[in-house]
Each structure stands twice: as C-alpha cells, then as structure tokens.
Amino acid sequence: MSKTVLVSGGAGFIGSHVTVELAQAGYDVVIADDFSNCDETNYKGVCAILGREMPLVTMDFCDAVAVERLFGQWHIDAVIHFAAFKAVGESVQEPLKYYRNNLLSFLNVLEAAKRQGGCNVLFSSSATVYGEPEELPVTERSPRQPATSPYGNTKQMCEDFLRDAVGAYPGIRGVALRYFNPIGAHPSALIGELPRGVPNNLVPFITQTAIGKRECLSVFGNDYPTPDGTCQRDYIDIVDLARAHVCAVARMLDGRMKAGYEVFNVGTGRPVSVLELVTAFEKVNGVKLNWKYAPRRAGDVTAIWADPSLANKELGWRAERSVEETLAAAWAWEKRLAGK
C-alpha cells in the first residue's frame, strides 16, 4: 500500500516542486495551502505535470480544528511542513505576525501528530539558523548563531519544537532540512517561483528585470571581503532540493533513521557570488541585464555555503544540476508567465 504524505504549503514555490517529486516517486500526496503567499498557478502546473488532479485542501494551519480535521480525514504517514511567512524584511517590520503564523501553524501540526499517536514530520528549515558563520563551509555541527531576523528566529524555534516533541512523544520522528538558497524552476516551465509584489529573492528579481517587469536590478554591496566584493551564497536548484525531501521521507518511513530527530544541510557546497550569478544568467540566456550596485542591505551575511557531505552519505542525495541549467529553467519559467 502506498504511503500518504501531507504537504502543507504545497502550492508554493518549494512545496509544488516537492509534490511533483513525491508523486513521481509513488507517494500519495495531499496538498494543503491557504493561498496567502501564492495563487493557484503552481497547483495547476503540478496537476499538468502529473497529468491528474491532486487532492487539495484550502485551509489555514493556524486553525487547530482544521488541522485536526485534516489528520482525521486522511491516514497521514508523513507531513512536510512548508506553510509559513517567509520575507525576512517584512518579519523585521511585523515580528508578531511572523511569530503567530510560523510558530502556531507548526505547533498545530505537532499537536495533531501527537494525538494521532505519532507521525513522521519533516520541517522546512533554513541556513539562516547559522547566522554569520564563524567557519566555512558550515556543517550540521556548526553552531546556530543568534537569528538576524524574526523569520530566522522562527526557523530556529521550530527546529527546537520538533526536537523536543520527538524526545517527549513516542511515535513522532523528525527531520529538519536546512536549505541554502533555492533557485530555478521545473524543466517543464510549468511551475516556478512566483513572488507576490516586489521579489525578496535574487533570481526572480533578475528574471523580472530581464523580462522588463522591473527597471533595474540592485546588487547590494560591492565591498564585502569576498573575491569580487559581493556576497557569496550556495544556490541550489529547486528540483535538486525537492529530491532531498523524497530521500528524507523514504529514510523516515523505511526506519533507517539513526536517531529520532535528524538535521541535514541541503546545498551544493559551492559558493557563488551575486555578481557571478548575474553574469552567468546573462551568458547562458543571451540577455543583457540593467543592474547597478547599491548600498549593503541590513541583515545580509557576507558568505555562507554548505558542507553537504552528511546528506550525501546518509540520504543518498546530492545536488546534480548546474547553475547554468538552473538559470536557464528560471528564464524559461519567467518567459512562460509573460506569454513569450
């Protein structure tokens, strides 16, 4: 009998790609989303890629009764929790909004898992938990630094919620995947990153500038202590990232975990600067971007990239797609959205 995986926030950027990979790996997937961060574009794209309508529940994970009802309606073998607000800058301006939504939604999931007698829980965490790292690359043993934003703080706190729930309640097993910088789109160009309003992430701003939706791309800071003066990040292809979730779910369901709670970095292990990414986009897509340097942005760390060797070894996963392939896919997605 196939296993059922609940994907909260499954209509969003990462959730939609994970849904596709899970379904193609043979899992039954239930998508749940309140559509506060997205519209139905990616959900419809998922159905088109898979060639069938996927179960969709429109609900708010801050509603404990709705979460309980969902867990009662389906036999859920694993839940992947994406449902959260995610804009770092907004979290600084509206901290209580972020704490209420991001913490309460995950607490409700853990409460429901507990009442059901246990569940496998995969939490969507982030490299933001490392802050400005003392050593590079960062490993899972690198210290978590004080968060530089309420958003980052919610990631740290939710990791702790999961760790403590696993320690207290038999039957709950947990994995936290710490993502680095997910970019790109599905090779079909049917799903991708679709920010509401002005993008907070670099690649959507690049593609929207290239298509003419944004006038100019700002590269924040050119005086960092890096080879070209711009920040360095670990940019991971969204499909590679999605595959890591399938590996982690399989590890939980197959009973291969070495502890009740595990943490894995999901990155390439290769630092790429902002300027290198902009240049690579121009080269691979034959597009000239209108961009300029701007002052440093508050909260940006100088450089961070992963040591992904633990995920490589334990999950049997590794990043495969090149930055060039990823940027080509992102551009194909943007052009499709624009009808070009």
Residue 261 annotated in active site: no
List 43, 151, 224, 261, catalytic entry: 151
CA distance 128 to 170: 29
Using alpha carbons, list the distances in angstroms from residue 141 to 133, 243, 270, 300: 12, 23, 19, 22
Output the six-digit token pair for 139: 């490993």
The β-bridge relationship of strands 4-8 and 261-266 is unpaired
Sign of the alpha-carbon torsion through 176, 178, 182, 188: negative
- Chain centre distance of CA 196: 16
Strands 235-237 and 181-183, bridge-based pairing: parallel
E strands, the chain, in order: 4-8, 28-33, 56-58, 78-81, 119-126, 172-179, 181-183, 217-220, 232-233, 235-237, 261-266, 272-273, 291-294
In sequence order, the 6+-apart residues with CB closer than 8 A to the CB of 131 are 144, 145, 146, 147, 148, 152, 301
DSSP-derived letter for residue 63 is -
Within 10 A of 141 (CB to CB), how many other CB atoms are there? 8
User: Strands 56-58 and 291-294, how do they pair?
Assistant: unpaired
In sequence order, what DSSP letters do the residues of 224-255 get, joined into one string? SSSTTSS-EE-EEEHHHHHHHHHHHHHHHHTT
Residues linked to residue 237 through DSSP beta bridges, in sequence order: 183
**Rounded to an integer, what distance in angstroms lies between the CA atom of residue 152 and that of residue 166?**
22
Burial of 289 (0-12, 13-18, 19+ CB in 10 A): middle
| Catalytic positions, written as ranges | 151
